[in-house]
């Protein structure tokens, strides 16, 4: 099977190549695609070097699927051209997520929504993906009314420039700034631009995407998204109010049985999810499970996942795996 990775030289694109190899996706020919300035560069996949090609050459190569991680503008321009050529597109940008004609997919939650007619499939925002994987089994059992989420997000979510800024600051080296402020020994309560309502674009992504993925507009979500000086993954403090009463032991059992979820919840052993442990893993880790003692039918939990893997590359590859398993590729 011919597989194109669009944006193959970027941070997420490189991770997509790694995940495709690790999960043994049946790639017979890899077509790395990137912007004109990267054409001719080489990427490595399963020990073999491949030359990066242009967008037009990527289409001409007729891959079965193209996994995009090249930014919203690139995706808006090129994803329809790939789709018109009969190539399935799985897009990691925000370009198509809220388009009512496109599916927004987290395989553990709503892969069954995909059909043969879906040629552009949107990969959700990283912070939304890990949250809905943990919310879905609880919503099915107790029905979620409201979610209050605060995120603690890795600099890798911004890209290589931000990782370089963090480590330059740590070494006392002056360098290019991805953020307006220093990130080392700091916390920045802004991810993406501010909107007219005072929330950031990242916060509103979590609000809108959660309802779309979980197919329930009645779920109320409010978010505060924060950048912190870590690299291993995103963390989230999540407060969930249910319509129905829950049993804490049953909650733990539901989460432990849920696809893609690992429960790390042992107070006595001081076991809880951390980016240090989530790094380079595909699962969503859940812990610190406890009742909110200020109001009924409300649960607190802590969710951590590697944002470059499950939050981006792995989720996209899992969508491709699902399409393949259903004969849609």
Catalytic residues: 126, 234
Size (the chain), residues: 329
The residue assigned the tokens 């991805």 is: 178
Q: How far is CA 113 from CA 68, 179, 206, in A?
A: 20, 38, 20
Look at residues 100, 156, 135 and name the one whose alpha carbon lies nearest to residue 312: 156
Answer for the pair 323, 65: CB distance below 8 angstroms, yes or no: yes
Report the alpha-carbon distance of residue 220 to residue 198 in Å, rounded: 17
CB atoms within 10 A of CB 266: 10
Whose structure tokens read 């950031």? 200
Alpha helices in the chain (DSSP H): 11-22, 55-60, 72-84, 107-110, 126-142, 160-171, 201-213, 248-257, 275-278, 314-325
Can you read off the two tokens belonging to residue 209?
């995407």
Return the half-sphere exposure (C-beta side, CA atoms, 13 A cut-off) of residue 145. Answer: 9
């Amino acid at each position: 099977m011919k597989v194109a990775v669009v944006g193959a030289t970027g941070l997420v694109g490189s991770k997509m190549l790694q995940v495709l190899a690790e999960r043994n996706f049946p790639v017979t020919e890899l077509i790395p695609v990137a912007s004109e300035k990267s054409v001719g560069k080489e990427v490595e996949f399963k020990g073999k070097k491949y030359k990066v090609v242009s967008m037009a050459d990527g289409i001409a190569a007729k891959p079965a699927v193209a996994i995009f991680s090249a930014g919203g503008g690139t995706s808006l321009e090129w994803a329809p051209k790939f789709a018109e050529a009969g190539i399935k597109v799985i897009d990691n940008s925000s370009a198509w997520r809220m388009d009512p004609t496109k599916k927004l997919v987290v395989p553990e939650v709503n892969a069954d929504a995909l059909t043969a007619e879906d040629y552009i499939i949107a990969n959700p925002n990283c912070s939304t993906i890990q949250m809905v994987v943990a919310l879905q089994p609880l919503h099915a059992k107790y029905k979620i009314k409201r979610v209050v989420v605060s995120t603690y997000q890795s600099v890798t979510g911004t890209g290589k420039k931000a990782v370089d800024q963090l480590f330059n600051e740590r070494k006392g080296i002056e360098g290019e700034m991805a953020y307006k402020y220093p990130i080392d020994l700091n916390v920045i309560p802004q991810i993406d631009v501010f909107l007219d309502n005072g929330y950031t674009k990242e916060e509103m992504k979590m609000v809108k995407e959660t309802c779309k993925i979980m197919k329930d507009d009645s779920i109320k979500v409010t978010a505060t998204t924060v950048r912190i000086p870590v690299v291993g993954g995103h963390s989230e403090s999540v407060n969930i109010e249910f319509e129905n009463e829950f049993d804490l032991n049953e909650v733990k059992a539901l989460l432990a049985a849920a696809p893609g979820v690992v429960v790390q919840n042992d107070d006595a052993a001081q076991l809880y999810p951390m980016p240090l442990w989530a790094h380079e893993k595909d699962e969503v880790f859940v812990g610190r499970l406890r009742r909110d003692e200020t109001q009924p039918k409300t649960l607190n939990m802590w969710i951590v996942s590697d944002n470059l893997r499950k939050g981006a590359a792995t989720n996209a590859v899992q969508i491709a795996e699902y399409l393949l398993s259903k004969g849609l590729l």
